Amino acid sequence: HAGGDATGAEISRALVEAVRARGIPTIENALVLDLLTDADGHTAGVSLHVMGEGQHDGVGAVHAPAVVLATGGMGQVFSATTNPSVSTGDGVALALRAGAEVSDLEFVQFHPTVLFLGTDAEGQQPLVSEAVRGEGAHLVDADGVRFMVGQHELAELAPRDIVAKGIMRRMQEKGADHMFLDARHFGAEMWENRFPTILAACRAHGIDPVTEPIPIAPAAHYASGGVRTDRHGRTTVPGLYACGEVACTGVHGANRLASNSLLEGLVYAERIADDIVAQHAENTLHARVPAPVTPSGPPTHPLLPAEARFAIQRVMTEGAGVLRSASSLSEAAAQLARIHAEAAGALAEHGKTAEPGVDTWETTNLLCVARVLVAAAQRREETRGCHWREDHADRDDAAWRRHIVVRLNPDRTLAAHTTETHDFPPTRPSPQEQ
C-alpha cells in the first residue's frame, strides 16, 4: 500500500508525472470507438469521439501501425461495482468488432465488502478493503452473528469468492439486501491513521465506522477474462495488443489474487513496448489505409439509448452475479436479446438509431460484453474460481480444465468454442519463439 489506503491515487500520480516529464502527446476527454484495419486485416489505428469543451463533439481518427488496449475493466455491466463509470468494457467490445478473440469472460471477481448505499444505488460504490478484515474486522448479520465462522477455516479472511458467496447466501437466508462489517473495536485513532480514505468515504455517506457497523454487500470488482493475448500481449489481430484488465493473459486463472493485476500490468506493458519496438520500429502503416466510406444508407447495427444501461445492469446483477444457475443465465440471455431486439426494431422501423454520443456508445458496448459473459457462463457447467454455478457446484477438471473462447461473427452473432488444452498462450507463437 502507498499513501495510507490510497494506492491507486499514488500510482496515477506517478504515471502522470512520467508522461509529462517525457513530453508524451496525449488526447484527453476522448472515447475510442473502433479499431481501424487495413485491407489485409492489420491494425491501422483507431476512431475517436472527442468530447469538445464549448464545441460540438466530433469524431476523428488516429492512424498507427500498432494499438495497445489498456482500457480497464467492465464492472459497469453490473448494478454495483467498485469500478468507475467509464469501465464499460469498451476495449473488449471494440476488439470483438475488429475480429479479435476474447476468453474467460465468465470469471468476474466480486469484492465481498463494498459499501452498501441502498437498493437503488447504481454504478461505482466505495470499496472497503480486505485489509480492514485483515486487521480484525468481523462480518456479521443484523443480529450480530459472525456467519463466516464455520463456513471456512479462515472465516472472514477466506478467499474473496468464498466470502462473497457466504455473504450472498446469508442475505438470502435472512431476506436481507446487505450484511455488516463490524470494526468498532478498532477505535478512532486506528481508523484515522490506518484507513483514512475508507473512513472519509463512510462518513460522507452518513456512516461512522468508529461507532457503528458498516453496511456492505458484494459488488463486481475485476474481470479475469478479456481479449486473448500471448506472452507478449499480442492479440489475434495483427498489430493489436492488450494489457491490464482488458486482457486475458492467463496469469490470473479463474480467480485473481489481490494485487497481482498491478504486477501483470507492469510485466506485460514492458513486453508489449519491447515487441512494438522490434516489430514496428519504422512507425509506418502496414499498408495504405482505405479512405473512409461515406454511408450510403441507414446504419445496420443499432446504438442503444443511454437509459438501456440500467436495464442491462439489473439483468446482469440478477442473472449473472455472484450466484448463477442455468435458469438465471437463460433468463439473462433472453432479457439481453430483448433489449437488443427493441433497438434493432426501432432501427428497422424508423431507419435510425439512438443519437451517437458517449452514453449511447458505452451502453452499446455494455450490451456486447454482457452477451459474451452470459454465453460463456452458460457454457461452463461447473464451479471454478469466481464462477459459481448453483446447479453445478463442483469443479470438473476432466471436462472443464480449459478455456472458453468467443468471437463476434460479421452479423454480430456469437461464435464460441472450448480449447482442447488449458495451456497459454492461446495465440500462435512468433518464429523467434519456436
Mean pLDDT of the chain: 89
Distance CA 218, CA 432 (A): 45
Same domain, 131 and 180: yes
Distance CA 275, CA 246 (A): 19
Based on C-alpha coordinates, what's the Rg of the chain? 22
Same domain, 199 and 115: yes
Least confident segment among 70-84, 219-233, 408-422:
408-422
Q: What is the mean pLDDT of residues 28-55?
A: 85
Q: What is the mean pLDDT of residues 170-187?
A: 96
Q: Given this model, what pLDDT does residue 258 score?
A: 78
Q: Given this model, what pLDDT does residue 267 score?
A: 95
The domain of 52 spans 9-108+222-279
Q: Is residue 59 part of a domain?
A: yes
Whose cell is 486487521? That residue is 135
Q: Is residue 130 part of a domain?
A: yes
Give catalytic status of residue 160 as yes or no: yes
Same domain, 102 and 227: yes
Same domain, 323 and 376: yes
Distance CA 165, CA 130 (A): 15
pLDDT surpassing 90 at residue 69? yes
Asked if residues 400 and 382 have their Cβ atoms less than 8 Å apart, the reply is yes
Q: Given this model, what pLDDT does residue 350 score?
A: 74
pTM: 0.89
Instruction: Identify the three-state secondary structure at position 308.
Output: helix
Q: Which CATH number does the domain housing residue 171 bear?
A: 3.90.700.10
Asked if residues 95 and 237 have their Cβ atoms less than 8 Å apart, the reply is yes
- Structural domain total, the chain: 3
Same domain, 103 and 67: yes
For the chain, report the end-to-end CA distance as a whole number of angstroms.
40
Q: Is residue 287 part of a domain?
A: no
Q: Highest mean pLDDT range out of 256-265, 341-350, 395-404, 412-421?
A: 395-404
Same domain, 84 and 116: no
What residue spans of 22-115 are helical by DSSP H? 90-97
Q: Is residue 423 part of a domain?
A: no
Q: Is residue 292 part of a domain?
A: no
Same domain, 371 and 228: no
Q: DSSP class of residue 292?
A: P
Beta bridge partners of 242: 69
Last residue of a domain, one of 204, 219, 234: 219
Asked if residues 62 and 52 have their Cβ atoms less than 8 Å apart, the reply is no
Same domain, 131 and 166: yes
Same domain, 314 and 411: yes
Q: What is the mean pLDDT of residues 35-60?
A: 80
Same domain, 198 and 232: no
C-alpha cell at 407: 468471437
CA distances from 367 to 101, 192, 403, 412 (A): 17, 41, 22, 12
Same domain, 314 and 168: no
Q: Is residue 426 part of a domain?
A: no
Q: Given this model, what pLDDT does residue 420 score?
A: 82
Catalytic residue among 160, 256, 271, 371: 160
Better pLDDT: 330 or 39: 330
Same domain, 237 and 169: no
Q: Which CATH number does the domain housing residue 402 bear?
A: 1.20.58.100
- Percentage of the chain with pLDDT > 70? 90
What residue spans of 80-195 are helical by DSSP H? 90-97, 130-134, 160-174, 188-194
Q: Is residue 302 part of a domain?
A: no
Asked if residues 205 and 252 have their Cβ atoms less than 8 Å apart, the reply is no
C-alpha cell at 118: 441502498
Q: Given this model, what pLDDT does residue 286 score?
A: 60
Better pLDDT: 57 or 172: 172
Last residue of a domain, one of 190, 219, 248: 219
Q: What is the mean pLDDT of residues 283-294?
A: 56
Question: Which residues, 6+ apart, have CB-to-CB distance to 328 below 8 Å?
Answer: 318, 319, 320
Q: For residue 82, which of 200, 218, 229 has the smallest C-alpha distance? A: 218
Q: Is residue 215 part of a domain?
A: yes
